[in-house]
Amino acid sequence: MSNEDLPQSAEMASAYLDGELDGPDRATAAADPEVGAAVDSFMRVRGALADVSPVDPSVKNAAIAAALAEFDATRSSSTSVIVPMATPATTTAAAAPVVSLSSRRHRMYRVVTGAAAAAIIAVVAVAALNAGGDSDDDFAVSSATEARVDASSIVFPMR
């Protein structure tokens, strides 16, 4: 709980009990009936807490050890026993194998990578088939034409 959640009277009562209020604020807190009720309530809580006797260290350690043992027993029994879920058709079902999420992710990545590789291979194959469609005759004609061009006949524009 933060100070914003506390009513103004409870905050002022707490400051009054802790001796944090100066003269005028202390007089204002003492005159306010809500602050007075909160101070009385806090005083009763303070008194009840003061009446609690300290626990013997050996009893405290035994209680902590028992609680930790119970926690360990509950945790080990819950992780080692797989409780099958009942289906509408059958009341007893075999326990489903546990598959970690990381192995599922790796499996998904393998499938996506395989699909991407197949798409790339298909694109390369189509490009190779289209590139092979040119005839050798066209190449021979263009080579002969290029061979007849004289280097002196090339004119470069001047700027």
In three-state secondary structure terms, 22 is: coil
The C-alpha angle with vertex 58 and arms to 52 and 61, in degrees rounded to 5, equals 90
What own/partner pairs with CB < 8 Å and gap ≥ 24 does 16-24 have?
17/42, 17/43, 17/46
Task: Say what the pTM is.
Answer: 0.34
Q: What is the pLDDT of residues 45-81, one digit of tens each?
A: 988 888 888 889 999 999 999 999 999 888 877 655 4
The distance in angstroms from the start CA to the end CA of the chain is: 82
- Sorting pLDDT into bands at 50, 70 and 90, what band is 7? confident
94 Cβ neighbours under 8 A, 6+ residues apart: 84
The CB density around residue 92, as the number of other CB atoms within 10 Å, is: 7
Q: Which range, 67-71, 97-101, 103-107, 138-142, is most confident?
A: 67-71
The C-alpha angle with vertex 118 and arms to 113 and 120, in degrees rounded to 5, equals 95
Go through 1-29 and write b for each residue having 16 or more CB atoms within 10 A of its CB, e for each that does not.
eeeeeeeebbebbbebeeeebeeeeeeeb
Residue with tokens 């991407």: 116
